Each structure stands twice: as C-alpha cells, then as structure tokens.
Amino acid sequence: MTGRSQGIDTKFLLMLLAGLAVSVGCGTERRSGVPTIAESDEAPREVAAADSGPQVGPATGPPSGVLAPAASSDPTLVAPASPASAAGQPADPNGSEPVKPGEPPAPAQSSSPADDDQSDPPKAADPLARKQFDGWGTPRVVLLISGQQHGYIEPCGCTQLANQKGGLARRHTLAKQLAAKGWPLIGLDAGNQVRRFGRQAEIKFHMTLDGLKTIGYEAIVLGADDLRLSVDELVAATVPLEGQATPFLCANTAVLDWSLMPDHKVIERGGKKIGVTAIVGAASKENVERDEVMFKDPAEGLQAVLPKLRSAACDVLVLLAHASVPEAKKLARAYPEFDIVVAAGAPGDGTDPLYQPEVIEGTDALFVQTGMKGMFAGVIGVFDDEKTPLRYQRVPLDATYDDSPEMLTLLKSYQDQLETVGLTGLGLKPVPHTSGNTFLGSQKCGECHTEAFAVWENTPHATATDSLSDPVERAGIQRHFDPECLSCHVTGWHPQRFFPYTSGYLDLKKSVNLHGNGCENCHGPGSAHVAAEEGTVDADEAKLKLLRASMRLPLAAAEKKCVECHDIDNSPDFYGKGAYERYLKEIEHKGLD
C-alpha cells in the first residue's frame, strides 16, 4: 500500500487513541428492506456491448471501460446514454434530524416499484436476460462495488425477506461465490455506511466495518453521513495501528490530521496493480467540514494524488466518488486518467444503478453507480483482453442469495449489544407527546370500543411486537431492543425518529399493555379522553365532544398516517394501484359499539 499513511509515528497514534472509547459491535436500520423488482427472473444477467458497438478506450495502453461481449452478440447492445440525472426548529433530543412540529417526516429515499429503476428492465425473452457473468471466462481480478448503504445492513423482513433486496449477509454470499470460482476479489465502497448519528449509529458503523473486512473490502470512503459520527469513533475505526492497514482512504477529507488518512492505495491481486483513490464531493462540504474533519476541494486532492498513482505504474486506476452523479461525471471528464469511476450518488440521482455502465463523453472511463441502501452490488472484472479489458455486472442482492452465517453472527451480536447497552445507554430519552397526553394501551380502548378492538386484535398490528421478540425469519435474531424496529412495532414511539414518548413502550415485560402497533399510534394517546369519559376529571358535554373528536382519525388523513410505517422499504406493495384501499378494508373499524 502507498499513500499518506506511510511514515506515521506509532507512538503518536497510540497516544491519539489513548482514552478513546472503542465500541466494536453491529447494527441495523429499521427501514432496511427494499422492493425487489422481479429481477431474479426477468432482469438482465449480463450487460454487454457487441463488437460493432462503441469502443470505450484506446486499443493499447492501460485498460479502459470497454464493455465485454456476451456469449451471443447483438449489435443493439450498446451502453445507453446517460439519463437526466432547519434552522430555528427544536432539536430531536435523541440525536437524529431536527424535528419540525406538525410537519410530516421526509419521504423514504427509495422509489416506488413503478419507477424503481432508471432503465427499463428487459423481458425474459430479451437478449439481455442472460445468466450472470455469462461469457466472462476467468478474470484476473474482480472488483466488488458498493456504497450508500445508509444503515440498511439487512432487509427488515416486514413484508418477508423474499420480497426485499439488500443486506450484508447476501453480499457476503455473493463474494464467497466469486471466490469459489477462483476469482481474486477486491472490495471497494464509496461511503455512507450510516445515515444517522448517535450511539446506535456508532455501534452500527463498527459492526459494518467488521462485516466489510470479512467480505474482503480494502478501500472504503468515509461518506458525508459517516463523517457526522463522533470524532472518537471515527479515529478509533480508521486510524491504523502498528502492523495493520486501514481500509479507509480519501484525497480530500481527513479526520484530525491529513497524515492519518491515506490518499490512495495500490492493491496487487491476480497479477494486476489496481490504483484506487477517493473524494468526497464539494456539495458535502457544509455537512462535512468541522473542527475535527478537514476538507479541501476534490480537484485539489486529485491533482495531488494522480502523480503518485501514475508513478506506481498501475494497470487500472479507480476513482471512488462520494458525490452526486453530475459532480462525479464532471470529475471523470476533468481527470480522464481514470479507467473506472464509481459514483455513490445523491438524493435525486435515482435509487438503483443502471443495468449498464455509462460512457462519459470525452473520456475512456467506465462510469458506474452504486445505487442506494445496498440493494445491489456491482462486479467489474479485469481481463487480459486488449479489446475488452473491463466487464461489468449489476447484481441484485435478492433472496436468491442465501444468508452468510458469518454475517448473521454479526447481526445477532449487534442486537445483543443493543440489549446490553439499553435505551438509556443509546441516549434515548422519552419525550412528552405533543398533545400532552399519555398512552394507556389498546386494551383500555377496547373496554368501550369492543367491536373496533376485535378487528384490531385480528390484524398483524396486534402481533407486531411478537414479530420482533419471536421472529419467523432469521429466527435466531431477536430485535425487541432495537429502536429502529421498535418504533413501528410497539405503542408510544415516534415512527420515524426512533424514540419513545413519555408513557410509551419501554420493556417487553414491563410494557405488556403497549405491545403491538396499537390504537393510540394512529388516534393519539388517550389519557385525557379516557379520564373525561370515566369521570375522573370534570368535563361538560362540550368538553367530551371535543375530546372525542380529537381521537378520531379522518379517512382523508389516514393514508398519511399509515405511510409513517408502511413506507416503500417495509411495504412496497402498499404503493400499488388500489393497494391502500385493500389494506384499509382489512383494518377498517368504526367508533363506539
């Protein structure tokens, strides 16, 4: 390995790390499942350009981004053209984003099944619908590409794992399958392992790093969201100890000191020298730059590192761009030396990577996107083939990939650590509900609303907590200590901010009355209404009517309430035509008996 990490004084590093609280664990994001768009049977299994298609790169010299021909050529299979690609608010006391009273949560970044992909998925009869890696032969080395995991370390399973993509357990299985073919592998990640900050995100970050190292990652970018974690955790995770190499690198950001972050790596594998560098996009500067995190313009960083990569006489040069697609393409044009440019992308760039890599006008670079939430992996093969030295395959991480036992062990240890740390240790403090009322539990509602309660009792809402404490899938991993799961599986939590309200669920045994996604999650905490109806407080008829009206959820507002939990990640089929109406019939209930 080459880079700025060479020559670092070991005593300095040990002094720097002294006293830091290092937490090595694992983590999970509640909204970690994503819809599978029928790719297992109908999507392309290899993307290729025929001999008559445009060549991406010179006939001689270092490999360039030429798409490889498949087993059967089709002159139409060419790389497609690029698609058009709070201040003053009260802070969330539990370390998440600012909470704006009365404002609905931001929509999930995943798109609906109807527009989930940026390119039209080919039909099974299309020549693109081939077996994965069809016609590849044996590459000298393969690059496993990922990024923008955003905390989605596993599909949550809310709508069954078979209907969701992503997760470290499946990605590891893919890596093991590639290794079983005898293909040397190098993992490259374009950043953003987490999307929140606070103790749970820190635990998850360490767990993810353990997982990535097990999979075989050797070059990882600290994304803009990763850099919001505490500096202690970042230094503990990234600074190399004596005899160890850090997998992190970046040419334009560093934590504490520029000497602590290598600006490039040269990785030798399969007889090939792969030169890798990385940048964090200029658009992230406001979110990244703080006293402990240094930032310089990406162009300045690349101008400094490119001479080092050239002098290393690499066979392939790779740029990991933790940046929007437009910014990454601009950098690809400005620095055409790179053979591969990987863009992490940004909101608005689309959820999924394209089926085919793009050709950037004016360059020889193979341009690929990671997609969002770890739903896909990209595999780039490096070949001794002057005509087509680089070949690309987009791989949907769906249920066709079994769970890796090693990753399941990590996921379980993550949940075990959450149990050990507890809600208090995670920094979660119950917050009074905006109404000022407290939660009583659905059984209390059922004392008067017997028919409505009977409907609720026979829906999955009533057993939502059981699905965490006694899961059917991945049964060895209980999740009832995980705030990112609890928030939609118990009563009395904020569904999008992952913290409990005062009087909300806190414990499986002590909060039995708040098991399930109960009545009050939709209708609001009922303490004032119940007290008035039972006569424990004075209330005239006008007051009673006012309180009754406050507990009603108008039909026009119901769908907005539902999607706080039934978002695109957890309930992809909730967004089909007429789906909401079908769901509503299953839980429809009317007021008093």
Cα separation, 320 vs 334, whole angstroms: 15
Cα separation, 477 vs 322, whole angstroms: 32
Contacts 24+ apart (CB under 8 A), 557-566: 558/522, 558/584, 560/104, 561/522, 564/104, 564/105, 564/488, 564/495, 564/496, 565/488, 565/495, 565/517
Answering whether pTM is above 0.75, one says yes
Is 481 within 8 Å of 200 (Cβ atoms)?
Answer: no
Could you give the angle at the alpha carbon of 477 between the alpha carbons of 33 and 215, nearest 5°? 65
Enumerate the β-bridge partners of residue 145. Answer: 188, 378
Q: Which CATH number fits domain 428-587: 3.50.4.10, 1.10.1130.10, 3.40.30.10, 3.20.20.70?
A: 1.10.1130.10
Cα separation, 339 vs 358, whole angstroms: 12
By three-state DSSP, how is residue 274 classified? Answer: strand
> Which helix H or strand E contains 369, and what residues bound it?
strand 366-369
By three-state DSSP, how is residue 283 classified? Answer: helix
Cα separation, 144 vs 139, whole angstroms: 13
Quickly name the fold that domain 10-41+140-406 has. Answer: Purple Acid Phosphatase; chain A, domain 2 (3.60.21)
**How far apart, in Å, are the Cα atoms of 145 and each of 45, 197, 242, 319?**
17, 25, 28, 12
Rounded to 5 degrees, φ, ψ at 506 are -130, -30
* pLDDT tens digits in sequence order for the chain, 593 residues long: 444 433 444 444 444 444 443 333 333 444 333 332 233 333 332 333 322 232 233 333 333 333 443 333 222 223 333 333 333 333 333 344 433 333 344 444 333 333 344 444 444 443 444 478 988 999 999 999 999 999 999 987 776 787 789 999 999 999 999 999 999 999 999 999 998 888 999 999 999 999 999 999 999 999 999 999 999 989 988 887 777 789 999 999 999 999 999 999 999 999 999 999 999 999 888 877 788 999 999 999 999 999 999 999 999 999 999 999 999 999 999 999 999 999 999 877 777 888 889 988 888 899 999 999 999 999 999 999 989 999 999 999 999 999 999 999 999 999 999 999 999 999 999 999 999 999 999 999 999 999 999 999 999 999 999 999 998 888 889 999 999 999 999 999 999 899 999 999 999 999 999 999 999 999 999 999 999 999 999 999 999 999 999 999 988 888 899 999 988 777 877 888 888 888 888 898 876 76
Cβ-proximal residues to 238 (8 Å cutoff; 6+ apart), any chain: 222, 246, 248, 255, 260, 261
Q: Where in the chain is the domain with CATH 1.10.1130.10?
A: 428-587
Rounded to 5 degrees, φ, ψ at 577 are -60, 125
Kindly state the greatest CA–CA separation across the chain.
89
Give the DSSP letter of residue 312.
T
399 burial class (0-12, 13-18, 19+ CB within 10 angstroms)? Answer: middle
Q: Where in the chain is the domain with CATH 3.60.21.10?
A: 10-41+140-406
